[in-house]
Amino acid sequence: MQAYIDEWFQTSAPSIQLEENMLVLYPSFLPSNLADHALNTLITDIPWQQHSLKIYGRRIPFPRLMYWMGQPGTAYRFSGNEFQPHPWHPVVLTIKSLIEQNLPASFNSVLLNLYRHGRDSMSWHADDETCLGPTPTIASISLGSTRHFAWKPKFVKGPSRRIPLPHGSLLIMKGQFQHHYLHALPKTSPPKGCRINLTFRNIVQ
Ligand SMILES: O=C(O)CCC(=O)C(=O)O
Ligand SMILES: [Fe+2]
């Protein structure tokens, strides 16, 4: 599978289907001028927030900055945090409508993640909160430095796989993906510049 992904990456096919179509990558989804503009604008316009995880009474800062945006009423709760939605940024709305024109899905909220360098990361998890519904479609846009997206089976022992997410790419997780797999954004040791990730979601309750 990994060889297939690596080989595919040397070609310029518009999309790659993985895990029986539950994971689909469009490596160059955004027009490059929009991707560049979004990266430069969001880095400075967003008042990025440092949230933390409470473990045994201690607060551990997440190794990345975050910001929650969306329609009123789309509060997002995870790891002991509750995010109230901030109003849409116009660049985020432009990207959202481009995705919605190309997918049979619509979104009412987005989590923005800022990975400042290669040591920022996201640990293994599934986006399986009840508020996302049983088979959520999540559309994930990457801007800036290329980082690897890793995934592995949730219930059976099996190797993890990884795929690079280039500037302007779109990764779709859908169907039973959150049920069967965990995913992560691992740290990297070679120095890396910053990366912004936008994961569009639909909060259903
Ligand atoms: O940064 C990424 O590509 C992954 C983000 C993610 O998994 C999440 O926000 O739930
Ligand atoms: Fe996730």
Domains of the chain: 22-201 (2.60.120.590)
Taking the C-alpha atoms of residue 111 and residue 85, their distance in angstroms, rounded to an integer, is 9
**pLDDT class of 13 with cuts at 50, 70, 90:** low
Neighbouring residues of the ion ligand 2, judged by CB less than 5 Å: 127
Query: For residue range 106-162, what is the model confidence (pLDDT) as tens digits?
Result: 999 999 999 999 999 999 999 999 989 999 999 999 999 999 999 999 999 989 999
Task: Indicate the top mutation candidate among 67, 81, 122 to test ligand 1's pocket, ranked by most ligand atoms within 8 A of CB.
Answer: 122
Q: Is residue 1 over pLDDT 80?
A: no
ipTM beyond 0.85?
Answer: yes
In the prediction, which pLDDT does 8 show? 47
CA dist 196 and 168 (Å) reads: 10
In the chain the first and final C-alpha atoms are separated, in Å, by 37
